[in-house]
Amino acid sequence: MAVQVFRSRGATSLPWHEACEQGAGVRYLMAPHDLDALHMAVGWARTNGRTGVVAAAPGADIDGLLAGLRTAHADAVPLVCVTGRTAPPGRDGAAVPAAALVRSARPVAKYAVQVEEPAQVPQALRAAFRTAREGRPGPVLIDLPYATAARDVSFAAADEEHGGTTHRTRRYVVCGRDGPPGRQVATAIGVRVALEASGHRDTTVVALARADQLPHSAEALAVAARHEVPFVLAATDSGGGRSGGRALELMRAYGCSGHRVDDAGGLRPAVAWARKESVTTARPVLLLVAARTQALAARVPRPRTSPEA
């Protein structure tokens, strides 16, 4: 089974990017930030029951990385996050010191460690996958110096025990009850990627958000549009139309469709249109629900077997 890796941009993770591109049986998706990569991995892991893998490149600001780890830890989602620490020669920019990164990650992860010796990397990765899943699942962070990550080492893929997810439902609902605003978009991408890999292309993914949160997801929306990741983004507009107007403009900027629902009678046909449009265009589709129709939207039943990412 292919390994799915969610990556963030940064010179410190270049060895992992090269390995993903050259390795057989490895799929990868580039996220704009560490936070988006982690939430994509959360959605992916919660959908298929396996451990999510993230290759991150934290810079001087590690808030996004820590926020993503905190969400995975709170939701008991198994993740292995591998971080680079020192930029390669000739590259500008400095990474956060290893001691500060590991120390900051420990309160929001099951385990965090730095590995200096290349020969210890295979053992550390195996232990990371085991720790992420045993007991109460959660995230594990492994920090590697650039020189260590750039070394070739022999590593046989770990045998990961996992329960296969039964995809009896035709709809996945991604809610944003906790965590940073707009994280639903990145999580929905991870859910959609997992469903595509497992052959469940007819399952609809619906991300629930507020219209004023969508600017926080602009770069994640760009990733979804570029990689043709289809899902329905149902956003409520309680800002008197201003937030909704900006949300529709944002979708159009990325070549995505959007539709506004101002009355309860138009909600059902709009939902049907959005599901079909997302499949036809292979992109996210915005379903903007006016404030006065929110009560009706809240009563739309969700499948009992559908996991809430």
Alpha-carbon distance values, 237 to 83, 178, 181, 208 (Å): 38, 19, 15, 12
Higher pLDDT, 7 or 272: 272
| Closest by CA position to 61, among listed 6, 7, 10 | 10
* Positive/negative CA dihedral, 220, 222, 223, 224: positive
Domains and CATH numbers, the chain: 3-149 (3.40.50.970), 171-298 (3.40.50.970)
| Closest by CA position to 278, among listed 228, 243, 214, 215 | 228
Interval 92-134: pLDDT, tens = 445 556 678 889 999 999 999 988 888 888 899 899 999 999 9
Interval 178-194: pLDDT, tens = 566 778 899 999 999 99
Interval 204-250: pLDDT, tens = 999 998 898 899 889 999 999 999 999 999 998 876 678 889 999 99
pTM of this structure? 0.81
Beta strands in the chain (DSSP E): 3-8, 26-31, 52-56, 79-84, 111-114, 139-144, 171-174, 204-210, 231-237, 257-261, 284-290
Q: Looking at residue 277, what is its pLDDT?
A: 95
Residue 109 contacts residue 35 (beta carbons within 8 Å)? no
Percent of the chain scored above 90 by pLDDT?
Answer: 42
Length of the chain counted residue by residue: 309
The mean pLDDT of 64-77, rounded to a whole number, is: 92
